[in-house]
Amino acid sequence: MEDAAAVRRTARASVDDIEPARLRDDLRSFIDDGSMVPGVVTTLVARTHGVEGDALYERAAGVQLIYEGLRLTRSLADDEPWLSGDRDSGDMHVLAANALVARGFYVLACTEAAEAAVAVVRAFGRDETERRVRGEEETTLEADVLELAVVAGVTAGGGEPTADLRSMATDLASTLDAPFPAVAALDDHDLTERVSRDTGAFADP
């Protein structure tokens, strides 16, 4: 999918200035291995509101980076590499997770989605702590990230995220695996029509 490739390129480019080289290489590797579902949903919503070009993919990359960082953090918490003796790898992955989230914040800092991005990270810390205490496998990260995606996308075109659009994000997350599967999984959902309807983009004058 063209959008997925463009989001990945933009996300990779956003970490080009990060040092040292080993950390930068790790960041690129995590971006390359990740599902572009959050970024593609962002682009779909933004395009419905007439946004194209760099502005479209910058916002999508910001959402994608935050997801990749939190996804990695969750993975580290669920399967701690330090317990298996792989301390160096664990330490580097912690740095990578923090760098991904921080760069995602940076990309979204001057957008209307900045507060929503902060809310996702705060919710992640609270929900993941409670999840581990209860010994549950269910996670809210994917639903929260897709809500951030629709907020970032719709506000890019000057719109406001409707209750229906937020509900769409929650419903979509409930049908997808966690972590997100390959972006091709979105082909099974008629997202373009629903986004158009829920944002009011095709409403009669």
At 121-167, the pLDDT tens digits run 999 999 988 888 888 878 899 999 999 999 999 999 999 999 999 99
pLDDT at position 203 over 60: no
- Whether 148 is covered by a domain: the verdict is yes
Q: What pLDDT is attached to residue 200?
A: 58
- Whether 201 is covered by a domain: the verdict is no
Residue 181 or 205, more confident: 181
- Whether 202 is covered by a domain: the verdict is no
Domain assignment of residue 71, given as a range:
2-196
- Whether 205 is covered by a domain: the verdict is no
Query: For the chain, what is the domain count?
Result: 1
- Whether 204 is covered by a domain: the verdict is no
- Whether 203 is covered by a domain: the verdict is no
- Whether 10 is covered by a domain: the verdict is yes
CATH number for the domain that contains residue 18 = 1.10.600.10
> Which residue type, as a one-letter code, is found at position 174?
S
Q: What pLDDT is attached to residue 199?
A: 63
At 62-96, the pLDDT tens digits run 999 999 999 999 999 888 877 767 778 889 999 99
Q: What is the pTM of this model?
A: 0.93
- Whether 150 is covered by a domain: the verdict is yes
